Structure 1
Amino acid sequence: MIAGRRTHWISMAALGVALCGAAGTTAQVRAGQAAGARVSDARSRADALVARMTLDEKIALLHGLFPPMAAGKTANELIPSAGHVDGIPRLGIPLVRESDASLGVANQVEQRKGDVATALPSSLATAASFDPAIARAGGAMIGAEARDKRFNVLLAGGVNLTRDPWNGRNFEYLGEDPLLAGLLGGAHIAGVQSNRIVSTIKHYALNAQETGRTVVDARIGEAALRMSDLLAFQIAIERGRPGSVMCAYNKVNGDWACENKHLLTDVLKRDWGYQGWVMSDWGAVHSTVKAANAGLDQQSGQELDKAIYFGAPLRQAVEKGQVPVARIDDMAARYLTGLIETGAFAAAMPAKAITPDYAAHAEVAQRTAEAGIVLLKNDGDLLPIARTAKRIVVIGGNADVGVLSGGGSSQVRSVGGAPVEIPLSTGGSASFARITYHASSPLQALRKALPGVRVDWIDGRSLNATVEAAKAADLAIVFATQWTTEADDVPDLRLPNHQDALIEAIAAAQPRTVAVMETGGPVLMPWIAKVPAVVQAWYPGQRGGEAIAAILTGRVSPSGRLPITFPADASQPPRPRPIGLDRMTGLQAAAAANPAAAAGYTLESFPVDYVEGADVGYRWYEKKGLMPLFPFGHGLTYTHFAYRNPVVRGGRTLSVTFEVVNTGARAGVDVPQIYVGREGGTAPMRLGAFTRVALAPGETRRITLTAEPRIVADYDTGLPGWRIAAGRYRVALAHDAADRTMVSTATLEAQTMKP
Structure 2
Amino acid sequence: MTLARSLKLAALFGALLASSTLAQNADPDARAAETLARMNPEEKLSLLQGFLTPRMPADKKPKGLKSSAGYVPGIPRLGVPPLIESDASLGIANMGGFMRAKDEATAMPSGLAMGSTWNPILIEEAGRVMGAETAAKGFNVLLAGGINLVREPRNGRNFEYFSEDPLLTGVLGGHSVRGIQSNRVVSTVKHYALNAQETGRSFANVVMDEAAMRESDLLAFEKAIEIGLPGSVMCAYNKVNGAYSCENSFLLNDVLRRDWGWKGWVLSDWGAAHSVSIRQGLDQESGTQPTGEWWFGQKLRDALAAGTVSQTDIDRSVARIVRTMYSLDLATDPIAGARPIDFGPHLDAAQRVAEQGIVLLKNEGKLLPIAATAKRILVVGGHADKGVPSGGGSSQVWPVGGASLSLPIPGDAPYHRRLYMPSAPLAALREQFPQAQVDFDDGTDPARAAAAGRGADMVLVFAEQFASEAHDVLTLALPDNQDALIEAVIGANPRTAVVLETGGPVLMPWLSRVPAVLQAWYSGNRGGTAIARVLAGAVNPSGRLPITLPASLAQTPNPVLPGSDLIKPKPGSDLYDMPKEDVPLTIAYPEGSDVGYRWYARNKHKPLFAFGHGLSYTSFATSGLEVRGNQAQATVRNTGDRAGATVAQLYLVSRAGKPMRRLVAFERVELAPGQSAIITMAIDRRLLAEWEKNGWTMPAGQYEFALGESADRVGRPVKVRLPAHSWRSPAKP
C-alpha deviations, 1:121-148, integer Å up to 9, x for none?
Answer: 0011001000111111111101111111
Higher mean alpha-carbon deviation, 522-531 vs 576-585, is at 576-585
> Residues of 2 paired with 1:552 and 1:132: CA distance?
25
> Residues of 1 paired with 2:502 and 2:230: CA distance?
29
> Residues of 2 paired with 1:572 and 1:341: CA distance?
46
Tell me: CA distance 1:38–1:142, structure 2 relative to 1, closer, same or farther (3 Å).
farther
Contact persistence 2:150–2:163 (CA under 8 A)? yes
- Which residues of 2 match residues 283-432 of structure 1 at below 5 A? 283-288=271-276, 291-303=277-289, 306-351=292-337, 353-426=338-411, 430=413, 432=415
| Cross-structure match for 1:576 | 559
- Match of 2:318, SS state, is helix
| Cross-structure match for 1:624 | 603
Which of 42, 58, 63 is residue 44 of structure 2 equivalent to? Answer: 58
C-alpha deviations, 1:712-752, integer Å up to 9, x for none?
Answer: 11111x1x111111111010111111123221110112111
Indicate yes or no: 2:173 matched with 1:185.
yes
- Match of 1:126, SS state, is helix
- Match of 1:671, SS state, is strand
- Match of 2:452, SS state, is helix
Higher mean alpha-carbon deviation, 576-585 vs 498-507, is at 576-585
Q: Amino acid of the residue matched to residue 177 of structure 1?
A: D
Contact persistence 1:39–1:337 (CA under 8 A)? no
Indicate yes or no: 2:204 matched with 1:216.
yes
Indicate yes or no: 2:426 matched with 1:443.
yes
Indicate yes or no: 2:465 matched with 1:479.
no
Tell me the CA shift for residue 424 of structure 1: 2.0
Which of 517, 523, 529 is residue 546 of structure 1 equivalent to? Answer: 529
Q: Amino acid of the residue matched to residue 50 of structure 1?
A: L
> Residues of 2 paired with 1:676 and 1:113: CA distance?
50
Q: Amino acid of the residue matched to residue 657 of structure 1?
A: Q
> Residues of 1 paired with 2:489 and 2:687: CA distance?
45
- Match of 2:637, SS state, is strand
| Cross-structure match for 2:622 | 643
> Residues of 1 paired with 2:588 and 2:503: CA distance?
24
C-alpha deviations, 1:511-534, integer Å up to 9, x for none?
Answer: 111100000011000000000000
Indicate yes or no: 2:635 matched with 1:656.
no
Tell me the CA shift for residue 78 of structure 1: 2.6
Q: Amino acid of the residue matched to residue 380 of structure 1?
A: G
Contact persistence 2:549–2:610 (CA under 8 A)? yes
Indicate yes or no: 2:76 matched with 1:89.
yes
Higher mean alpha-carbon deviation, 339-348 vs 101-110, is at 339-348
Tell me: CA distance 1:431–1:458, structure 2 relative to 1, closer, same or farther (3 Å).
closer
Q: Amino acid of the residue matched to residue 703 of structure 2?
A: Y
Which of 629, 634, 640 is residue 613 of structure 2 equivalent to? Answer: 634
- Match of 2:175, SS state, is helix
- Which residues of 2 match residues 64-103 of structure 1 at below 5 A? 64-76=50-62, 77-103=64-90
Contact persistence 1:283–1:304 (CA under 8 A)? no
Tell me: CA distance 1:432–1:723, structure 2 relative to 1, closer, same or farther (3 Å).
farther
Tell me: CA distance 1:247–1:304, structure 2 relative to 1, closer, same or farther (3 Å).
farther
Tell me the CA shift for residue 671 of structure 1: 0.3
> Residues of 1 paired with 2:524 and 2:333: CA distance?
30
**Percent of matched pairs sharing the same residue:** 50
Corresponding pairs, count: 700
C-alpha deviations, 1:322-355, integer Å up to 9, x for none?
Answer: 112111100000111222112222222224x122
- Which residues of 2 match residues 472-551 of structure 1 at below 5 A? 472-551=455-534
> Residues of 1 paired with 2:228 and 2:682: CA distance?
20
Q: Amino acid of the residue matched to residue 591 of structure 2?
A: E
- Match of 1:492, SS state, is coil
Tell me the CA shift for residue 645 of structure 1: 2.1
Q: Amino acid of the residue matched to residue 715 of structure 1?
A: W
Contact persistence 1:108–1:411 (CA under 8 A)? yes
| Cross-structure match for 2:574 | none
Q: Amino acid of the residue matched to residue 713 of structure 2?
A: D
Q: Amino acid of the residue matched to residue 666 of structure 1?
A: R
- Match of 1:300, SS state, is strand
> Residues of 2 paired with 1:469 and 1:226: CA distance?
54
Tell me the CA shift for residue 684 of structure 1: 2.3
Contact persistence 1:282–1:304 (CA under 8 A)? no
> Residues of 1 paired with 2:395 and 2:498: CA distance?
27
Tell me the CA shift for residue 234 of structure 1: 0.2
Tell me the CA shift for residue 40 of structure 1: 8.2
Q: Aligned-pair RMSD on alpha carbons? A: 1.8
> Residues of 2 paired with 1:528 and 1:177: CA distance?
26
Tell me the CA shift for residue 446 of structure 1: 0.6
- Which residues of 2 match residues 123-162 of structure 1 at below 5 A? 123-162=111-150
- Which residues of 2 match residues 663-742 of structure 1 at below 5 A? 663-682=639-658, 684-716=660-692, 718=693, 720-742=694-716
Higher mean alpha-carbon deviation, 70-79 vs 94-103, is at 70-79
> Residues of 2 paired with 1:713 and 1:283: CA distance?
37
Tell me: CA distance 1:83–1:611, structure 2 relative to 1, closer, same or farther (3 Å).
same
- Which residues of 2 match residues 249-288 of structure 1 at below 5 A? 249-288=237-276
Contact persistence 1:726–1:750 (CA under 8 A)? yes
| Cross-structure match for 2:4 | none
Tell me the CA shift for residue 311 of structure 1: 1.2
Tell me the CA shift for residue 510 of structure 1: 0.7
C-alpha deviations, 1:71-123, integer Å up to 9, x for none?
Answer: 41425233101000110011100011000101111111322112111100001
Q: Amino acid of the residue matched to residue 375 of structure 2?
A: K
C-alpha deviations, 1:399-418, integer Å up to 9, x for none?
Answer: 01100000000000101111
Q: Amino acid of the residue matched to residue 204 of structure 2?
A: V
Tell me: CA distance 1:457–1:373, structure 2 relative to 1, closer, same or farther (3 Å).
same
Tell me the CA shift for residue 55 of structure 1: 1.5
Higher mean alpha-carbon deviation, 632-641 vs 743-752, is at 743-752
Tell me: CA distance 1:304–1:692, structure 2 relative to 1, closer, same or farther (3 Å).
farther
> Residues of 2 paired with 1:196 and 1:272: CA distance?
23
Contact persistence 1:161–1:173 (CA under 8 A)? yes
Q: Amino acid of the residue matched to residue 80 of structure 1?
A: S
> Residues of 2 paired with 1:438 and 1:602: CA distance?
35
Contact persistence 2:57–2:290 (CA under 8 A)? no
Tell me the CA shift for residue 681 of structure 1: 4.3
> Residues of 2 paired with 1:193 and 1:578: CA distance?
36
Higher mean alpha-carbon deviation, 182-191 vs 297-306, is at 297-306
| Cross-structure match for 1:606 | 585
